[in-house]
Amino acid sequence: MRIQVLGPGCPRCKTLTANVEQAIQDLELDDATVEKVSNIADIAKFGVMMTPALVVDGRVKSAGKVLSAAEVARILKP
């Protein structure tokens, strides 16, 4: 599973990244990788207008909101 957090590196983006990492740990997703995407051109390729955004396996799951670890876990749950 490839998880991307889109954002320029603001505090909200860092919080979402931490929550994603917590959800991965809680769900014991050993095959999950987390990538931070901060390049504006790369973010725009996803059609995202507000950050932070969460992308799972190439599909935008959330944009413009800091999801809690529990919310991320619901999205990632197999």
Distance CA 16, CA 42 (A): 18
pTM: 0.94
Which whole-number Å values give the CA distances from 27 to 8, 53, 54, in the listed order? 27, 20, 17
Per-residue pLDDT of the chain (78 residues; tens, 9 = 90+): 999 999 999 999 999 999 999 999 999 999 999 999 999 999 999 999 999 999 999 999 999 999 999 999 999 997
